[in-house]
Chains A and B, each alone.
Chain A
């Protein structure tokens, strides 16, 4: 049996065993109150069956008699019922940018590979704590939609989708986000994974709408070292990955300073926007280990739970 190429994704390479072991001790909690169908480890915005008391409410016809707090009712000469905070399962939706720009690679390692590994890690993490996870993989030509599920077969489906997918066509992340707005009514965690190499306004607007619906949004940016450092010092013909036939022939020596200024402004724009709108913005180089970056972020996130 032939060995797969380094650049090719396999089920094993997209979620290696050592990475799974590293993720075994990690947990992903919802920062906001979740809204799920099953009991889980996350706080639900609904009041229901639980042991954690929340507040009293004047009895209304139809309220279960078993929830009447007789001591309080006797003291106030009215009927009051107890309300409890209900725990629920977290619903996580992974929105993956599969546009052709993700094929950007340095030293043979593409941002798409890093994106796939990060997606697989997140899916594994969510399913291991028995929450549900869904996948939306999108580009201008094709969108793959895997509804949320907490079964273990969901991980296989997600990994299979990542392995078989090919980065192609232009960006269409805003389209996917709008589809989520239309299809998903329950609150959950929306994780966006992309290189963000597109006009940001439309995506930012959709993220704001998701937040307005009560979703928590995480934004993972996968960076390519060449794109970040622009290490060229001669004439270069840049051939667009997303638009066939489009190229730019430039002398990179005079351009370099301006390019890096643009890149710095671009990144600063995303960071500023994310901070302003309470979106966790995590950037990850395509040459950095996924599990390390993920564990650092989750540790940070666990420290600020409920904030």
Chain B
């Protein structure tokens, strides 16, 4: 028998209080003149000895009540023989694994739930005043409770309920090292609530220096029978802004995180929760594959694309989402010089033709997805540019410093600029004006002008990039993309930092570059869209590619709909009336208020903290008479999906060194503690003694009534 608070045993001296009170009351007795001596003497003479013994027994009982209460407060405990030798009180330490793998298991038997249940049962055995600590291992390993007194079980449980599993891996070696360095010299009971994932346990065998004879370790790890786990590790869209009714691609990356091969697992693509297509995935252990799915959305507005695998042992890594904006149409503004008014002199002619074709041959371009305007004035107002989704700058357009500055501001504020470098380009002017302004993804070096329908030409490559618009051209029905030929083009040399190549010619040279600048983007095409020397009109199959290119460019100003964990979530809200409020929501969690930041062309809606976990998120933008939900996909790295158990030999080595007691559930933990009689409080017996003594005192008192 030991005590949690042995120093409280000095309080046994309080047992003298009833005796002191007895004599104090006797000393302060009431003085009464009394005439009935005769009766009083007779009563005293006959009962004096009985009263004397009654007083002795009463005093003894009262003293025992006080002493038993003091003993109860000192918290007597039963200990094993080993613990009895060490003496002193015990520090209880809970080591809680908050890594992603703790979500493994079939509901309701998820490892984390079983661990929390065991923790709750464990703290229920503790009493007020005991010392305990809680070390949470998640993305920020920390002491949640650092050698605090237990107030009561409910308080401990409230703290335990704050523990969450995060999308992170943890190092048990670091965690155990911190725990073993905690409360050195004290008698410790360490309760490890973690799984047997091999990656977690790496290096644990090197950090056991702090383990001493006073430390006893319990390892609570619910067993996993099925460890086959597939994870969607990435979901990308070919464009985050697409045209209504036009095909775009979703690419899902799937990894087999288990040690067994997986066959024919279903990967479902969903748009706004509705299934759009299914692919079957077979993967060897540890391998990753990329699965694409062509999607087409017929409704304009923000949408959510999700790739989801069927449920397995760790279902929380089976889905990822991405947001996409579907535009009903794109309006282009072509900037040309007034003296280049010929049908084939500027892009406007060709693009106008494309617009009419897409409108079904109608002369009303507004009926189609592409609307083209041209501007040949000398100056150009920024407001004119910003009233269109993208601006096409012809190669023959005279570049003035004013125009360059306006274009730069246009891009900085989120505009999409398409540079169509045709054979009329003034290379020196472009390099001089646009280069320093940061508007050139690559530096045009020279113009190649080959005879029309001659042998020398350039064709678009199908393999340089994977766009559905080009992939469909492989079919015989649609013809061959190679028939789109360029007889004039510009050869570029230096690619600007941050620029990426969107498309290439068949010979491997670049055809289209993209450079994001401030909030906008610049697309440089190595060949013009004027079709004077190019047979762009030969095949309409180039149209989808161009439209997706325009859509991408038109969406330059919009913030990405696919963000990482803890990255800011932003949306640029245009139009009237301005947003009155906005809420950020993550599925399964309470929505929070997002910030509204007024800007020149609209309002930026922002939730800077972002989401701490992967999943579908949204910004609900509230206007005066309407509301709009903008979907975002939050995608974090899958760092803890591998459920491989540690090697048996390594496990045996650790078991020998740490001498842990290994249990699989709350019930087994309780049984283990009961069998060891370890840390079992005995104050129940003491309180029973208190009650017994108090009852005896009551009975003695009743004798006098």
Establish whether residues B26 and A249, one from each chain, have CB atoms under 8 Å apart when the complex forms. yes
B703 to chain A, nearest CB (A): 8
B232 to chain A, nearest CB (A): 81
Establish whether residues A104 and B33, one from each chain, have CB atoms under 8 Å apart when the complex forms. yes
Is A206 positioned at the interface, with any CB of B under 8 Å from its CB?
no
Mark A77-116 against chain B: 1 for CB-CB distance below 8 A, else 0: 0000000000000000000000011111100000100000
Is B649 positioned at the interface, with any CB of A under 8 Å from its CB?
no
Is B263 positioned at the interface, with any CB of A under 8 Å from its CB?
no
> Which B residues from 27 to 79 make CB contacts under 8 A with A?
28-44, 46-47, 51, 54-55
B669 to chain A, nearest CB (A): 52
Establish whether residues B43 and A237, one from each chain, have CB atoms under 8 Å apart when the complex forms. no
Is B704 positioned at the interface, with any CB of A under 8 Å from its CB?
yes
Establish whether residues B43 and A235, one from each chain, have CB atoms under 8 Å apart when the complex forms. no
Is B428 positioned at the interface, with any CB of A under 8 Å from its CB?
no
Establish whether residues B25 and A234, one from each chain, have CB atoms under 8 Å apart when the complex forms. yes
Measured CA separation A86–B598 after assembly (Å): 135
Establish whether residues A266 and B39, one from each chain, have CB atoms under 8 Å apart when the complex forms. yes
B102 to chain A, nearest CB (A): 64
Establish whether residues A239 and B30, one from each chain, have CB atoms under 8 Å apart when the complex forms. no
Q: Which residues of B contact A243 (CB under 8 A)?
A: 37
Measured CA separation A248–B705 after assembly (Å): 21
Q: Which residues of A contact B28 (CB under 8 A)?
A: 235
CB within 8 A of B35: which of A111, A232, A237? A111
Q: Taking CB as reference atom, which chain B residue is nearest A195?
A: B35
Instruction: Report, as a range, how many residues of chain A touch the other chain.
Output: 35 or more
Instruction: Report, as a range, how many residues of chain B touch the other chain.
Output: 20 to 34
Known: A255-B43, A257-B704, A258-B46. A239 touches B31 (CB 8 A): yes
Known: A234-B30, A235-B26. A242 touches B44 (CB 8 A): no
> Which A residues from 243 to 260 make CB contacts under 8 A with B?
243, 246, 248-251, 253-259
Measured CA separation A199–B51 after assembly (Å): 24
Q: Which residues of A contact B26 (CB under 8 A)?
A: 235, 249, 251
A245 to chain B, nearest CB (A): 13
A172 to chain B, nearest CB (A): 14
Measured CA separation A257–B705 after assembly (Å): 6
Known: A254-B54, A258-B47. A248 touches B29 (CB 8 A): no
CB within 8 A of B29: which of A104, A237, A258? A237
Measured CA separation A79–B54 after assembly (Å): 84
Establish whether residues B30 and A255, one from each chain, have CB atoms under 8 Å apart when the complex forms. no
Measured CA separation A232–B32 after assembly (Å): 10
CB within 8 A of B55: which of A239, A251, A258? A251
Establish whether residues A237 and B46, one from each chain, have CB atoms under 8 Å apart when the complex forms. no
Q: Which residues of B contact A241 (CB under 8 A)?
A: 33-35, 37
Is A236 positioned at the interface, with any CB of B under 8 Å from its CB?
yes
Establish whether residues B36 and A197, one from each chain, have CB atoms under 8 Å apart when the complex forms. yes
Q: Which residues of B contact A266 (CB under 8 A)?
A: 38-39, 42
Is A272 positioned at the interface, with any CB of B under 8 Å from its CB?
no
Measured CA separation A195–B35 after assembly (Å): 9
Most chain A CB neighbours (cut-off 10 Å) among B40, B44, B46: B40
Establish whether residues B35 and A242, one from each chain, have CB atoms under 8 Å apart when the complex forms. yes
CB within 8 A of A227: which of B36, B41, B47? B36
CB within 8 A of A254: which of B32, B38, B46, B704? B704
Is A288 positioned at the interface, with any CB of B under 8 Å from its CB?
no
Establish whether residues A240 and B37, one from each chain, have CB atoms under 8 Å apart when the complex forms. yes
CB within 8 A of B43: which of A100, A240, A251, A258? A258
Q: Which residues of B contact A145 (CB under 8 A)?
A: none
Q: Taking CB as reference atom, which chain B residue is nearest A266?
A: B39
Establish whether residues A236 and B30, one from each chain, have CB atoms under 8 Å apart when the complex forms. yes
Most chain A CB neighbours (cut-off 10 Å) among B29, B30, B36: B36
Measured CA separation A261–B701 after assembly (Å): 17
A63 to chain B, nearest CB (A): 56
Establish whether residues B39 and A263, one from each chain, have CB atoms under 8 Å apart when the complex forms. yes
Establish whether residues A224 and B43, one from each chain, have CB atoms under 8 Å apart when the complex forms. no
Measured CA separation A226–B33 after assembly (Å): 11
Q: Taking CB as reference atom, which chain B residue is nearest A228?
A: B36
A272 to chain B, nearest CB (A): 17
Measured CA separation A231–B31 after assembly (Å): 14
Most chain A CB neighbours (cut-off 10 Å) among B26, B28, B37, B46: B37
Measured CA separation A300–B26 after assembly (Å): 48
Q: Which residues of B contact A255 (CB under 8 A)?
A: 43-44, 47, 51
Q: Which residues of B contact A224 (CB under 8 A)?
A: 35-36
Measured CA separation A192–B36 after assembly (Å): 18
Establish whether residues A234 and B33, one from each chain, have CB atoms under 8 Å apart when the complex forms. no
Establish whether residues A237 and B31, one from each chain, have CB atoms under 8 Å apart when the complex forms. yes
A235 to chain B, nearest CB (A): 4
Establish whether residues A238 and B32, one from each chain, have CB atoms under 8 Å apart when the complex forms. yes
Is A262 positioned at the interface, with any CB of B under 8 Å from its CB?
yes
Q: Which residues of A contact B38 (CB under 8 A)?
A: 197-199, 266
Establish whether residues A253 and B704, one from each chain, have CB atoms under 8 Å apart when the complex forms. yes
Q: Taking CB as reference atom, which chain B residue is nearest A265?
A: B42
Q: Which residues of B contact A227 (CB under 8 A)?
A: 35-36, 39
Establish whether residues A262 and B39, one from each chain, have CB atoms under 8 Å apart when the complex forms. yes
Q: Which residues of A contact B44 (CB under 8 A)?
A: 248, 250, 255
Measured CA separation A248–B42 after assembly (Å): 12
CB within 8 A of B37: which of A237, A242, A249, A257? A242
Establish whether residues B33 and A259, one from each chain, have CB atoms under 8 Å apart when the complex forms. no
Measured CA separation A258–B37 after assembly (Å): 14
Q: Which residues of A contact B42 (CB under 8 A)?
A: 262, 266
Q: Which residues of B contact A249 (CB under 8 A)?
A: 26, 29
B23 to chain A, nearest CB (A): 10
CB within 8 A of A259: which of B25, B32, B39, B701? B39
Measured CA separation A232–B25 after assembly (Å): 13
Establish whether residues A197 and B29, one from each chain, have CB atoms under 8 Å apart when the complex forms. no
> Which B residues from 434 to 467 make CB contacts under 8 A with A?
none
Q: Which residues of A contact B35 (CB under 8 A)?
A: 100-104, 111, 195, 197, 224, 227, 240-242
For the A-B complex with A235-B26, A246-B37 known, give 4 more contacts whose Cβ atoms are closer than 8 Å: A197-B37, A239-B34, A254-B704, A257-B703
Q: List 30 A-B residue pairs with CB atoms under 8 Å apart, sorted by A's residue number.
A: A101-B37, A103-B33, A103-B35, A104-B35, A105-B33, A111-B35, A197-B36, A197-B37, A197-B39, A199-B38, A232-B30, A232-B32, A236-B29, A236-B30, A240-B37, A241-B33, A241-B35, A241-B37, A246-B37, A248-B34, A248-B40, A249-B29, A251-B25, A255-B43, A257-B703, A258-B47, A259-B43, A261-B43, A262-B43, A266-B39
Binding site for B on A (CB under 8 A): 100-105, 111, 195, 197-199, 224, 226-227, 232, 234-243, 246, 248-251, 253-259, 261-263, 266
Binding site for A on B (CB under 8 A): 25-26, 28-44, 46-47, 51, 54-55, 701, 703-705
User: Which 6 residue pairs of A and B lie closest in terms of their CB atoms, listed nearest first?
Assistant: A101-B35, A104-B35, A235-B29, A238-B34, A227-B36, A258-B47
